[in-house]
Structure 1
Amino acid sequence: MTDDEREYHKPVRRPAELFDRLFSGDDPAEVSRVAHSTAHALLARVRDDPTADVVQRLVAFTDDHGIDDIAELWSRSPARSLPGALWRLYLLQLMIHDDPLTAALLYERGRVEIASADPVVAGAPTPASPDELVALIDTILRGLFEGDFAVALDRAAAFCRVQAAGATYLADDYEATEPDRASVLTTRAARLATYGADLTACAALRRRDSLD
């Protein structure tokens, strides 16, 4: 078992600051083929049989099985692809489930500070409790499978941008007194902002039937 596999050993609760680590690969072409084929097969399966039980199993997958199976399939995929989008949504969900208190803190600070409609698009209550944010990210993930896929991606992207804004402002608050904590928050803000941009791009591709 490699060091990365130990990080993902199931059931797993990964630290949020590690949520963008990738697996090493063997044959890149085969990895890409499997990633795309499994992502398309998953969506086709749930769209053909969108029962509540099937959807709930997919939403609760990482709670029940950890993240390693999904990481093996999709973590090395391009960010702006179907498997890349699914990987980011599951990883975002796991990050919120793992530490809902921090997620709520970042979201509320971001909601207050951000100068955009992203809090409205994301759809969290005002203010949002930790449990409400867990419910929100599960609802967004559920929307991938039984709602409008592009809308769900847009909501997830908006969620990331609100969180990124919150992390940025909190990092500024801690810079003078707790620089290490500020650095962690800055790193998280950058990752969340990147995820937001990637998911927005994926939503646009989906609307053009070009998200492969």
Structure 2
Amino acid sequence: MSEFDRPHRPIRRPDLAALAGAAAEVEPFARAELAAATAAAVITHGRSGQGDSLVDLADRVGLDTLAELWRQEQPSSLPGALWALYLLRRWCQSNGDEVTRLWRAGRHYAPVDEVVAGVSEAADPAAIEALADAVLHGAYVGDFAVALERAAAFFRVIATGRRETAEPGRDGDRERSLAERNEETADGLTMTAQTWRQNPL
């Protein structure tokens, strides 16, 4: 049985905060099970057409709540992938200028990923934020695997931008390390997209 097979019931938004509080008190295996169950419930509810859009879920329940539930999971898992999408949205909202700088520095060196991600030609902070919203919106009302692949492509362009702009020294080393993390996230999202295509909820 894959993680996408396990049964689940709808989870109301207030329940997520309570579950997040409980997550810190359970063993790692049970925490992973809780993360998988809540992620499956969220994605199923969001894709059912019932209730409000979950694009702004992190705004409603708090990013810290989602972090407690999903942050420790790998992007190659459903909860880890959802966490990456919500974190991407918050990053684009709060650090639009930095993300834009990295995107512009990397996009010409990763033309395929640039096309897959689908940032508008303007590539300004508003376009970057719109991309993050569109990816999450697509996760709930479109093809979930495509949404994950768009996010993966975005992370790869950002990783390229980090390497292209990294200076020698400690700060440059930090950027190169972050680039590796961005690529690991991209690889994990791609794996989750493949799993979803084989066995969607």
Q: Same fold (TM over 0.5)?
A: yes
Contact 2:76 2:188 in 1 (8 A): yes
Q: CA deviation at 1:25?
A: 6.5
Say yes or no: does 1:162 pair with 2:157. yes
Q: Whole-Å Cα distance in 2 between the matches of residues 183 and 64 of structure 1? A: 36
**Matched residue, 2:87:** 91
**Matched residue, 2:3:** none
Q: CA deviation at 1:24?
A: 6.7
Q: One-letter code of the match for 1:194?
A: E
CA spacing shift, 1:205–1:105, aligned 2, 3 Å: same
Q: Whole-Å Cα distance in 2 between the matches of residues 160 and 78 of structure 1? A: 15
Contact 1:96 1:137 in 2 (8 A): yes
Secondary structure in 2 matching 1:117: helix
CA spacing shift, 1:37–1:180, aligned 2, 3 Å: same
Q: CA deviation at 1:30?
A: 1.7
- Select between 99-108 and 59-68 the one with higher mean Cα deviation: 59-68
Q: CA deviation at 1:79?
A: 3.0
**Matched residue, 1:190:** 180
Point out 4+ residue stretches in structure 1 off by more than 4 angstroms: none
Secondary structure in 2 matching 1:59: coil
Secondary structure in 1 matching 2:199: coil
Paired residues in the alignment total 179
Q: How high is the TM-score relative to the length of structure 2?
A: 0.82
Say yes or no: does 1:71 pair with 2:67. yes
Q: Whole-Å Cα distance in 2 between the matches of residues 63 and 143 of structure 1? A: 18
Q: CA deviation at 1:100?
A: 0.6
Q: CA deviation at 1:142?
A: 1.0
Q: One-letter code of the match for 1:165?
A: T
Give deviations 1:71-106, integer Å, cap 9, x for gaps: 111112233111111111111222222211010010
Contact 1:50 1:145 in 2 (8 A): no
Task: State which of 136, 157, 167 in structure 2 corresponds to 1:141.
Answer: 136
Percent of pairs identical after alignment? 36
Contact 2:117 2:154 in 1 (8 A): yes
Say yes or no: does 1:110 pair with 2:100. no
**Matched residue, 2:42:** 42
Q: CA deviation at 1:112?
A: 1.7
Give deviations 1:113-142, integer Å, cap 9, x for gaps: 22x411000000124001110111111011
Q: Whole-Å Cα distance in 2 between the matches of residues 155 and 184 of structure 1? A: 25
Q: One-letter code of the match for 2:159?
A: A
**Matched residue, 2:18:** none
Give deviations 1:19-58, integer Å, cap 9, x for gaps: xxxx97741122122111111111221222356xx11xx2
Contact 1:50 1:146 in 2 (8 A): no
Contact 2:74 2:80 in 1 (8 A): yes
Q: Whole-Å Cα distance in 2 between the matches of residues 46 and 112 of structure 1? A: 35
Q: One-letter code of the match for 2:190?
A: T
Any gaps of 5 or more consecutive residues in structure 1? 1-22
Q: CA deviation at 1:162?
A: 0.5
Question: CA-atom RMSD, angstroms?
Answer: 2.0
